[in-house]
Structure 1
Amino acid sequence: MSAPKKGKDLSALKARLAKKAAAAEPEAPAASEAAPPIPAPGEVKADVPAPGEVKKPAMDIPAPGEVNKPADIPAPGEVSKPADIPAPGEVMQPEPAVAAAPAQVAAAAPKEDLAEDPFSGGVAFNPDAGLLDDIGGDVKPKSNIGLPIFAGIIGLAVGVGLGWMFHKSSDGGKRYDAAIAKADDIQQRVTEIEESRAKIALKLGEVEEAITAKDGDKAIAALEEFEPAAVEVGDLFGWQMAAMDPAVIKTIFGLAQSANNVQIDVSILKGWVNNNKDVLVDKIKGPSNFVVAVNPEAGGAVLAELVSAICDEIPDPLPEDFKPETLKKCEGEEILKAKAYIIRTDVGGDTSIVPGNQAFYLTPSGGIYGYAIGQTPEANAKAYFDLLMSKAKSEVDEMVKDKDRALEGIANYTSDPKLGGD
């Protein structure tokens, strides 16, 4: 027999070591082969052989005269070629590299047991020792997506800024136009008030001239052309007017209030002239004696002008041709005992007769009499006319000053309108 080659001895040695390692480590019993329960007294375990029988060993032992041939030991005259040692005259070719997966790396094959390699010295060779563990594939290059996003944000900010500037410019132009338009409306309203004031001032002059000329009809005609109309400026208030000088705003509203007040005074003057035109032009004298007459229809008494007191009996019923002037009139203290009174309830109006027991003579004395009627009641109509005329003219003159201040303030606002209001 030829001497065994070195490669054959190495393979045989590996096979024997593997066989001993397998025999030293028996396989763990399966769940179905778990230890049977302990038998009760009098019972025999099922796996105990009966008398005269031999229990079959768990390991595969060959029969007498047979040898259990390991699969990895070659037959006599054969040589087992190790997988990792090339034959004589051959060169071991390296295995082609396997491309790594793009996203993940295949799991490393399990390493052989160190006990199977008698030349390892108990330490397996690790070609990856000292290298960083793979963290999941190739390292991806840095993405450039952040640059377009950053550029987009910058562009958006610039666009918003330009849009805001354009909006402010456009909005500022609109507000400027609105301010100028509102200032024109306010100025137009002030001009209308001034035109109305000028007409009232003209009519007041005409009335005063007519009364002085003793022409009551002309005075009434001048006032008939006057038609009062309320003046309103509250609808003009807004952010434009609010941006004006507060003194100018106060002047504008004061001007409107004065216009309404003077129209009320002129209306009272118109009614007074209509009721007292004859007294005002001295066609008749005003009342100087008064009585308080019972007025059943009104449920009280009225103040009336005493035309005359009658001391004669008044016929009842009165004849058709009755003439009061034919009756005897009372004089002095007899007036207090008069049988009847001829009275007039309207200045310059018709007269009527009331029984003496339905009217009471009003003695011209006392503080209340002087306050209510005065010592010269016949001149009361003219005095009251003068009072009304003086008040109306004073208000008209004051309106001229307010108008000038208002127009000046509006002009200042128009030249430099304030656009900061809301």
Structure 2
Amino acid sequence: MFQKHVLLFAVFLLICAIAANVLITIYVTGPAQGDPAALEEGIILSKRVQATFDYLFGIAIGAFIVVATTPGLESRQDFIRWMTNEFPNSYVFFVFVMVLTILTIQISQYRVMSTNPTIIAFEPYFLFVNGFAVATVMLYAPYRFLTYVRRTKAGARVRRDTYLIMFGIAGYPFSELMFEVLLPNYGIDLRAPGFVLEMALVGLIAFGIRERSFLQELVVPTAEAHLQTKPAYDLERGYIYAILERDGSEAFEIFKDFVTHGAQGLCITRRAPKTVMKDYRLERTPILWLSRTASEKNAVRPSPPENVAIAIEHFVDIGQNGVVLLDGFEYLIAHNDFSSILALLHDLSEKVSLQEAILLLPFDPSTIGEREFALIRREVKLLGPLAVEHDAGAKVVR
């Protein structure tokens, strides 16, 4: 929802720009029609007010781009935390350009050469700064979106929506430059159709995100940290490791050790993601909530098990040094027939082996029957505090 709130705020600023321009135009063309000086001042004022709102709109759209392409930004607090932790970043430069342009708009001297038709002469530095700002907006969206989509190897639908949004964002400042600066400089007044076109471009952006938060459902492989200390755990890659324990605590410790030493991790868990983030201090690692009822965009339903398979397989395909923690194996068994869960393990075992990834699978062996455990055991290596009861050689190499 935060993403949509940012976009709605941007649209609000755009509406303010249009409304201010219309109201000022009505005012100056009424009683002041016989006063050329007042009319010229009104034209300049309307341009300044609208241009200011336009670049405030640009700042808001830039924030939307950041939120859409940065996993985990689900609230204003998350956004502020990201800005603080990642300072300086590309959005800081983006805002600097927009603010500099707004200041230029306020201090520049305009000359109204004619009021009918409206011809306005702008200073060369004004045209340069505005042109640079427009180029910044037009390039910032493709830079952020294309980089993000390439990293996540998004599907055709997501790519299509991405291109629509980029076209809408890039087209808006270009149309502003044309209809509000360049054409009036030559006495061509096409502001009315320009407003229609700009609203259509904003509508294109809204269509691109539609019902869901745009891009936020994609899992982006990211290492939590790159500590220089020696890792506490050393596991051979290409295997599924069944961590036999009561509560999953050792599996989480192994997972945290890997992701803080450069591995890109994905956590799928029955616990609330914010609780996991707090308990294990995970800020960058993507966490999916294994739940039938949760409505968050990072929730994965347990049935059918292909939901889990798709998330894991996509992650290990695009990640490097991937390690996946699947916490909630008993929950998957409870909501699916065992044959489908066994098929899931077969598929994941092959995928993990091919990509030289690691899959950590904590569960309590007492929750399943002996036959089921025997079939699972054929696909995994046993670790954890309860593993020695089933395999005397099972241990975690430290």
TM-score interval, smaller chain: under 0.3
Q: Which has the higher helix share?
A: 2
Superposition TM-score, scaled by structure 1 size: 0.25
Which structure has the higher relative contact order (CA within 8 Å, separation 6+)? 1
Of structures 1 and 2, the larger Rg is shown by 1
Superposition TM-score, scaled by structure 2 size: 0.26
